[in-house]
């Protein structure tokens, strides 16, 4: 996710590569990031944080305690965390009296089509909220939510690209099963999902309205939908979001 944001911010010239310093412990990842994005690299978390105006925490929640210890005493103007499940209370304890913004982005940020939910901490000013929104809006849409909803956001939009990828893969497999060449089946599946999302966004139609518009009596679509309902497709997606949300809570516990 950190690389997705890095890629989007550079591609849209919100920051120049020369303005970004990445702390990365793995040599292979450092080499890759240096070659692909031409950013400065270090292994010193403390030095990296001290040199920035915005500190983006893009690490696994499991290593937060160790990284926070490295950053003890650093007076960063704004801390932006994309750690799944780690609450503001823990973040603010690690960075006392510092402005902390909790963020849940998603991977379509790589192509400027992401969506990020933000929950500002108690020391964040309105101007700092707008600054963070400005950074994130470069890679997609931004919504502000109360922190208690962040686990639900993680379950829906944070993990959601994984669900959609499976849907697209399954649609393409269905096309192949019905006789289509793989390349054409994949193209049809991707554009169908993309076009449907764009149609819903631009028209404001409720998904149920669109579904009704394409289901004629006794037709092909309603026959297919009956099979999806029989297989529990809808409830499977609902449970996927709920399970991801629960896991997010566990990671922050």
| Each residue's pLDDT tens digit, 96-153 | 989 999 999 998 988 889 999 999 999 999 999 999 998 898 889 999 999 999 999 9
Domain spans of the chain, in order of start: 2-150, 160-252
Exposed/middle/buried for residue 102 (C-beta within 10 Å: 0-12, 13-18, 19+): buried
**Res. 220: pLDDT tops 70:** yes
Q: pLDDT value at position 167? A: 98
**Binning pLDDT at 50, 70 and 90, where does residue 181 land?**
very high
**Res. 253: pLDDT tops 70:** no
**Res. 169: pLDDT tops 70:** yes
Q: What is the mean pLDDT of residues 1-14?
A: 83
| Each residue's pLDDT tens digit, 62-88 | 888 888 888 888 888 899 999 888 899
Domain at 2-150: CATH architecture? 3-Layer(aba) Sandwich (3.40)
**Res. 1: pLDDT tops 90:** no
Given 1.10.3730.10, 3.30.160.70, 1.20.120.1200, 3.30.470.20, which CATH number is that of 160-252? 1.10.3730.10
Q: pLDDT value at position 222? A: 97
Q: pLDDT value at position 102? A: 96
Q: What is the mean pLDDT of residues 165-179?
A: 98
Q: pLDDT value at position 165? A: 98
**Res. 252: pLDDT tops 80:** no
| Each residue's pLDDT tens digit, 191-207 | 999 999 999 999 999 99
């Amino acid at each position: 996710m950190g690389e997705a944001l890095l890629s989007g911010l550079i591609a849209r010239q919100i920051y120049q590569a020369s303005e970004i310093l990445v702390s990365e412990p793995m040599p292979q990842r450092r080499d890759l990031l240096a070659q692909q994005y031409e950013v400065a690299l270090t292994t010193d978390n403390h030095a990296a944080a001290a040199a920035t105006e915005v500190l983006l925490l893009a690490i696994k929640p499991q290593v937060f305690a160790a990284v926070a210890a490295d950053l003890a005493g650093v007076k960063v103007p704004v801390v932006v965390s994309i750690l799944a499940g780690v609450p503001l209370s823990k973040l603010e304890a690690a960075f006392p009296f510092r402005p902390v913004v909790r963020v849940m982005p998603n991977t379509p940020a790589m192509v400027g089509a992401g969506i990020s939910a933000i929950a500002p901490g108690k020391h964040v000013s309105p101007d700092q909220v707008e600054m963070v929104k400005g950074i994130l809006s470069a890679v997609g849409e931004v919504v502000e939510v109360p922190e208690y909803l962040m686990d639900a956001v993680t379950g829906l939009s944070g993990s959601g690209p994984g669900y959609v990828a499976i849907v697209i893969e399954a649609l393409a497999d269905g096309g192949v099963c019905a006789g289509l060449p793989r390349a054409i089946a994949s193209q049809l599946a991707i554009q169908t999902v993309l076009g449907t999302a764009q149609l819903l966004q631009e028209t404001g139609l409720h998904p149920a309205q669109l579904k009704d518009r394409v289901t004629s009596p006794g037709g092909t679509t309603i026959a297919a939908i009956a099979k999806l309902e029989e297989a529990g497709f809808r409830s499977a997606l609902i449970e996927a979001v709920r399970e991801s949300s629960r896991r997010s809570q566990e990671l922050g516990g």
